[in-house]
Amino acid sequence: MSKILLAINHAYLMFGVTVYVGVLWALHFFWYPSWEVMTLDVVQDHFIKPTSAATVFFTYVVPLMFISNAVLIWQEWRTRFRWAAIIAMLCIIGATYVGQIHIIPINNAIAEGLSSAAELSEKLEQWMFLNDVRWVIMSAMWIAMMYYFFGKGDLLDKLGNK
């Protein structure tokens, strides 16, 4: 495979993990506090619309990340960097599992309509906890990818040689 195609592949994987983890960091620090007082009247506009848009976006981004990550593992299989690529793959598998098996059903339950503010609060607490799990997993993936790029590119050495 040409070096240009591999560079594009690896750049896409880094793009995907950065966007994914960035959304999760933003959720954790900026949006969660406002959701503690969310009401049934505004849940469609302030929760369902954004989460639906994110689900559509990541439905396209994540499968390509799996493919890109597999290419990275294949390319680095005989090097010390295979572990960064394998860790990254385990992270995207874990985050996808949490999202598909645990978070999407909560999204669907909230979208279908809940009967009380207490039920909404309970679902949102579960949702935030599960997304904090993904936040940790995707942060680990981002760190693994940064290790890969720093190590592969000898970035620390290059930064020291102006």
Query: pLDDT tens digits, residue range 125-157?
Result: 999 999 999 999 999 999 999 999 988 877 667
Q: pLDDT per residue over 77-128, tens digit each?
A: 999 999 999 999 999 999 999 999 999 999 999 999 998 999 999 999 999 9
Q: What percent of the chain has pLDDT over 90?
A: 73
pLDDT at 3 over 70: yes
Nearest to 140 by CA among 101, 77, 99, 89: 89
Q: How far apart are alpha carbons 146 and 116 in whole angstroms?
A: 44
Where do the DSSP E strands lie in the chain?
Answer: none
CA–CA distance, 128 with 158 (Å, rounded to integer): 40
The whole-number average pLDDT for the span 50-64 is 95
Domain boundaries along the sequence of the chain:
3-150
Question: Which of 132, 148, 124 has the alpha carbon at shortest distance from 39?
Answer: 124
Query: pLDDT class for 30, splitting at 50, 70, 90?
Result: confident
Q: Which residue has the tokens 């990275």?
A: 72
Q: Which residue is it, tokens 């394998």?
A: 86
User: Within 13 A of 135's CA, how many CA atoms are on the CB side?
Assistant: 15
